[in-house]
């Protein structure tokens, strides 16, 4: 890693590949700081929705960024995300916010805004940085780069179970369609598209248990 930053493990991959849960687990086990970059796109999406700005209104979005302050503070399940000093962790995990986040993440100004924040956060301590572009753009020199993936039907099933457990009545088919359209958008966008870093350890979790995935990552952790 460059002299500017410290120790970074970057975990990349498509939506619902299990990046968040595995990153949270490794962070807790090893005492690393956990940075969920997707939650930052979701926080911006939440702000825009609350303030009646459509994801297509790029000029208004660029102006809105000036009024957005995102910070992390320790909570019950690791770090909670705060938008302008309000904890929004429980309000950003739904398909509507995910959809807006995916749309606005294509805008260069939004990416630049968050990239600066992400790089400044990982300058200190030991970090697990998670999200799609963390290995290719945010921290290409990370000490370990992991690309976590799984077949789309398996990812949809896992995400659907999470949403249902959280009280949603969404169908599995709707979740699959949402995942397919986000995959399409995330891989084909011009700005920082989802792709595999040549040095990344690729882990296909389709037929692996959570513990097997964790074990593979822990086995690859550099000193
Ligand atoms: O990982 P997630 O589902 O919480 O991410 C929400 C959206 O944010 C996702 O559709 C794409 C975008 N995102 C991104 O463009 N770059 C990242 N590093 C993380 C997320």
All domains in the chain, ordered by first residue: 6-218 (3.40.50.300)
Alpha carbon of residue 185 to chain centroid: 15
CA-nearest residue for atom 1, ligand 1, is 38
**What pLDDT was estimated at residue 119?**
95
**What pLDDT was estimated at residue 176?**
96
| Residue among 131, 185, 193 to mutate when testing ligand 1 (max atoms within 8 A of CB) | 131
Task: Tell me if 102 CB under 6 Å of ligand 1.
Answer: yes
**What pLDDT was estimated at residue 4?**
45
Question: What is the C-alpha to C-alpha distance for residues 114 and 123, in angstroms, rounded to an integer?
Answer: 14
CA-nearest residue for atom 6, ligand 1, is 38
Task: Tell me if 13 CB under 6 Å of ligand 1.
Answer: no
**What pLDDT was estimated at residue 103?**
93
| Residue among 8, 21, 99, 102 to mutate when testing ligand 1 (max atoms within 8 A of CB) | 102
**What pLDDT was estimated at residue 101?**
96
Among left, alpha and beta (phi > 0; psi -120 to 50; other), residue 11 is: beta
3-state secondary structure of 57: coil
**What pLDDT was estimated at residue 3?**
42
Low-confidence ranges of the chain (pLDDT < 70): 1-5
Nearest to 192 by CA among 139, 137, 149: 137
Distance from the alpha carbon of residue 135 to the mean position of ligand 1, in angstroms: 13
3-state secondary structure of 10: strand
Question: What is the C-alpha to C-alpha distance for residues 172 and 176, in angstroms, rounded to an integer?
Answer: 6
pTM above 0.85?
yes
């Amino acid at each position: 890693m460059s002299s500017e930053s410290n120790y970074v493990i970057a975990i990349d991959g498509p939506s619902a590949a299990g990046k968040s849960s595995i990153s949270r687990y490794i962070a807790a086990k090893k005492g690393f700081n956990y940075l969920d970059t997707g939650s930052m796109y979701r926080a911006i999406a939440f702000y825009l929705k609350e303030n009646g700005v459509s994801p297509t209104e790029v000029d208004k979005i660029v102006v809105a960024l000036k009024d957005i302050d995102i910070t992390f503070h320790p909570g019950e399940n690791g770090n909670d995300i705060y938008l302008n000093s309000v904890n929004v962790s429980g309000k950003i995990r739904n398909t509507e916010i995910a959809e807006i986040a995916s749309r606005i993440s294509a805008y260069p100004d939004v990416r630049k805004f968050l990239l600066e924040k992400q790089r400044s956060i990982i300058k200190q301590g030991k970090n697990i940085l998670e999200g799609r572009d963390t290995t290719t753009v945010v921290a290409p020199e990370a000490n370990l780069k992991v690309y976590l993936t799984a077949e789309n039907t398996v990812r949809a099933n896992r995400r659907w179970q999470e949403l249902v457990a959280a009280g949603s009545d969404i169908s599995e088919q709707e979740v699959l369609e949402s995942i397919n359209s986000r995959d399409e958008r995330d891989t084909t966008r011009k700005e920082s598209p989802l792709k595999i870093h040549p040095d990344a350890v690729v882990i296909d979790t389709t037929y692996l248990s959570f513990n097997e995935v964790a074990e593979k990552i822990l086995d690859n952790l550099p000193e």
